[in-house]
Copies of this chain bind each other. A is one copy, B any other.
Amino acid sequence: MTPQAPTPAYRRLSVEERRAQLLDAALSLFAHRAPEEVSLDDVAEAAGVSRPLVYRYFPGGKQQLYEAALRSAAEELRHCFDEPREGPLLPRLARALDRYLAFVDQHDAGFTALLQGGSVVETSRTTAIVDGVRRAAAEHILSHLRVEDPGPRLRMTVRMWITAVEAASLIWLDEDKQPPAEELRDWLVEQFVAVLGVTAGRDAQTAAVLAALPPADG
């Protein structure tokens, strides 16, 4: 707050760049501490800017910053699911899971805080953002399965598996990232095939999806 205080890059970043920089700083703090333990001062310090600058970008304070950081992380997470619709199906799923697990690895405590709930910064809005990512994941999978009008049993199977993957991620973080990510990924893919197989016994649509998997997926 003194006139001599260094303000190295204040005017060099555009509004969008500055905003992205603040969100990045916030996300890396949320990755190592619970949201309630991160202050705006911490974010200002991590980004090398003044606290008033953080407030200028996020006048709603920490709650607004948290929600913006969450939206940015959700956006990044959605990109994990981007996978060309070509080649055998299970390797596509495996590649998406690789990106997802890298995201989990990187965001660590922030990922846990968000999904475990009960955080002071959790609101119906943050819950809606997380639910949006879950829904996007389910839609991606169903579109890769080339199902136009998925019935309730197939949809429920996919959504249950997505929840199980989430649970696995949280346990994985809690157990010092064991088993190794590659093993966890293969294991999750195998579970996907197994639960589809169970549903196939009760649902003709799921049986058709399973039968249509290319031989390389067998």
Contacts and interface: CB of A to CB of B under 8 A. Distances in A.
A166 B163 contact: yes
B187 A194 contact: no
A70 to B, nearest CB: 12
Interface of A: 116-119, 122-128, 131, 152-153, 155-156, 159-164, 166-168, 171-172, 175, 178-179, 183, 187, 190-191, 194-195, 197-199, 201-202
The 4 closest A-B pairs by CB, nearest first: A118-B127, A163-B167, A117-B117, A160-B164
Query: Max chain B CB contacts within 10 Å: which of A127, A128, A161, A164?
Result: A164
Nearest to A194: B194
Q: Which of A119, A160, A161, A195 has the most CB of B within 10 A?
A: A160
Given A118-B126, A162-B167, A163-B166, 9 more contacts: A116-B127, A117-B127, A156-B172, A156-B175, A159-B167, A164-B167, A187-B198, A187-B199, A194-B194
Contacts of A153: 179, 187
Contacts of A127: 116-118
Given A118-B127, A198-B194, A202-B183, A175 B160 contact: no
Most B Cβ at <10 Å: residue of A122, A153, A156:
A156
23 contacts: A117-B117, A117-B118, A117-B122, A118-B122, A118-B124, A118-B125, A118-B127, A119-B124, A152-B175, A152-B179, A156-B171, A156-B172, A160-B164, A163-B164, A164-B164, A164-B167, A183-B202, A187-B198, A187-B199, A190-B198, A191-B198, A194-B195, A194-B198
A191 B161 CA distance: 11
A161 B195 CA distance: 11
A161 B124 CA distance: 26
A199 B123 CA distance: 36
Contact of A178 (B123, B152, B159, B190): B152
Contacts of A128: 118
